[in-house]
Homo-oligomer: A and B are copies of this chain.
Amino acid sequence: MADNDPQTPDNDEHSAEAVAVGSVDVEARIEDIITEAIDAGDTERVRDIVRELHYADVADLLERLSREYRARAVEIIRDIFDPEVLSELDETVREDVVNALGVKEVASALSELDSDDAVFVLEEMDAAQQQLYLEHVNEEDRSLIEQGLSYPEDSAGRLMQREVVTVPSQWNVGQCIDYIRRRADSGDDELPSVFYDIFAVDGEDHPVGAVSLSRLLSTRRQVPVAEVMEEDMHVINVATDQEDVAFLFRQRDLVSAPVVDDSGKLVGAITVDDVVDVIHEEHEEDIMRMGGVIEDDLYRAAVSTARARFSWLVVNLLTAILASVVIGLFDATIQQTVALAVLMPIVASMGGNAGTQTLTVTVRALATKELTGANAYRVITKEVIVGIFNGVLFAVLSGLVAWGWFGSPVLGGVIAAAMVINMVIAGLAGASIPIILERAGADPAIASSVFLTTVTDVVGFFAFLGLAALVLI
């Protein structure tokens, strides 16, 4: 289908049912249409619609259907099922779809996919299940896939395409172009379907330079490759973590990069489309972790979701109990002045919020490598100053509120002093906890907020009630 409507990137002129990327309403409509067609037993309509869709949209559609309709839809489109759909599906949904498709269909899909996509589909399964499907894949594809699976999870080796165009560095531009055209003419399977750079290698298969296709096309045929190739390219080791790969691509505006094994031999290439997925994935992970969710669970069943979130809540229960113990130390004071119980959450909550602001900036700066050993001290100092500044402002505000509410200037003074203390500590803790965790090799995104809340709750309650106990009794 042509998709050339200039008004939006998504409206499709000649098909009312075409999925619209980015338009919630039309997207919502298509699953209703499919659900209705399944209910009405109109399988031809389902097949017609799916045939018209891009594989990414088929994946979206399957994700949005409920589990029963998903299984029924897969049953209906089984023989027109595009293997690419599998690599676009959310993990939980993919499990459903793979089970619905059955061993033979999945195996044939794996053969059809590029090796990196096949690895992507298989990597979340356990070894027994992987074997089940791989048994039915032809030997050549199987060995490529198994090699991909042998690299560490989240490594460059898993991300890379094995298919890559290499040329001897002594060739000229014309030879390269003829070589590519000859391989394409002969229907060479090993020629990648889309590529952006060709790589010049020496006699030992070590990459020595990269030539972008636009450079290749803009250069006369007789010019030697060595003259136009980019020597200052970024060679990635198969074991490099995908997060570092993504950082490199973003930092250097790369579209593809050669991957080498430990002996420096070229074994594949990573292209930007895979990196975009990695960036997106890492992004999801960061946000989820900061929100106390270990794994995106939108498509998981309720009970399994509850179980996955349970452990985080247990940690938080312990934190909350610790804060309660601190309050318990001052129960006599509270009994005497019940206004303390009324006001104490304000101090803890403001510390928590101010600390979270600091924490967010610090965790992000660590993730983007903007925060290093060299400026850590400066960042912490700054956050303490910010804490003093806002601490004083909110001390005045909350002091006035307490004074006005309970008619006690002393109570106002106590909450003001506690507020300054807690907000300064919040700045200090919000900046230093992630830095310490990072140095200790822990992921600052996931553990920082629990530590921070513990600090701001304990300090908040202790400062406020402790000062009150000193002053009011």
Task: Report A373-414 residues with CB < 8 Å from chain B CB.
Answer: 373-375, 378-379, 382, 385-386, 389-390, 393-394, 397-398, 401
By a CB distance below 8 angstroms, the chain B residues around A172 are none
A262: CB under 8 A from chain B?
Answer: yes
Asked if B312 and A357 make an inter-chain contact with CB atoms under 8 angstroms apart, the answer reads yes
Oligomeric state, in copies: 2
Q: Does A249 contact B (CB under 8 A)?
A: yes
Interchain CB contact under 8 A, B359 and A291: yes
A5 surroundings in chain B (CB, below 8 A): 235
Given contacts A317-B398, A390-B313, contact A24 B373 (CB under 8 A): yes
Chain A 217-254: CB-based contact to B (< 8 A → 1; otherwise 0): 11110000000000111111100100011011111111
Task: Mark contacts of A12-38 with chain B using CB atoms, 8 A cut-off: 1 yes-contact digit, 0 otherwise.
Answer: 000000000110110110011000000
A331 touching B342 in the complex, CB below 8 Å, given contacts A276-B276, A288-B361: yes
What is the CB-to-nearest-CB distance from A220 to chain B, in angstroms, rounded to a whole number?
Answer: 7
Least distance between A18 CB and chain B CB atoms (Å): 11
CA A195 to CA B207, docked complex, whole Å: 23
Given A291-B359, A291-B360, CB of A64 within 8 Å of CB of B375: yes
Nearest opposing residue in chain B for A299, CB measure? B370
- Which B residues are in CB contact (< 8 Å) with A296? 361, 364
Task: Mark each residue of chain A from 341 to 357: 1 if its CB lies under 8 Å from any CB of chain B, else 0.
Answer: 11111101110011011
Give the residue name and chain of the B residue nearest to A90 (CB).
B370
| Residue A132 lies at the interface, judged by CB distance under 8 Å to chain B | no
Q: What 0/1 readout, one digit per residue, does chain A (294-323) give for beta carbons within 8 Å of chain B? A: 001110011101100110111011011101
CA distance A234 to B298 in the complex (A): 29
In the complex, the answer to whether B341 meets A334 with C-beta atoms within 8 Å is: yes
A364 to B288, CA, bound (A): 8
Q: Apart from A6-B235, A9-B244, A195-B214, what 6 extra A-B contacts exist at CB < 8 Å?
A: A9-B248, A255-B273, A279-B283, A290-B290, A293-B360, A298-B364
